[in-house]
Amino acid sequence: MKILHTMLRVGNLQRAIDFYTQVLGMQLLRTSENPEYKYSLAFVGYEGGNPGQAEIELTYNWGTESYDIGTAYGHIAIAVPDAHAACERIKAVGGQVTREAGPVKGGTTVIAFVTDPDGYKIELIQAKSTTYEDRRHSDAKNTDPLRSA
């Protein structure tokens, strides 16, 4: 078994597509419309999505502009080679960083959080190849950290 996708209900499909493709660097994999049941879908992901990677299904129920996320939802996690550089790139293209990159409380893994336009949280988890201390003292060049994850 494997995870195929996670579905998020969104209040504006194009705004959500723009965030996941332009801010997080995902690809728009496919879309569909269902006029009979009044909803539209967009699937986004990295590296072509399934079968190699799980996807995110963005669901727009026609006429519903917002949702109460509730207290049970946590976040989606994305691996990035450099969380600090990812945060800078996200801010540069208008994304909202809600927790700057730094070590997780009680650990050494470097994480950050961003929030999508519908309020969903996305955790950026830095690959283990660079520790927090290494990054703080690094002169590594700034690359596109999300597209190379």
pLDDT in tens, 55-77: 999 999 999 999 998 888 899 99
| End-to-end Cα separation, the chain, in angstroms | 24
Q: How far is CA 48 from CA 21, 105, 126, in A?
A: 13, 34, 22
Amino acid, res. 140: A
Least confident among 15-19, 28-32, 52-56, 66-70: 66-70
Task: Give this prediction's pTM.
Answer: 0.80
In sequence order, what are the beta bridge partners of 101?
none
Establish how many alpha carbons lie within 13 A of residue 45's alpha carbon, considering only the half-sphere containing its beta carbon.
20
Confidence of residue 80 (pLDDT cuts 50, 70, 90): very high
CA distance linking residue 36 with residue 55, whole number of Å: 25
The encoded tokens of residue 69 equal 């996320």
Catalytic residues: 123
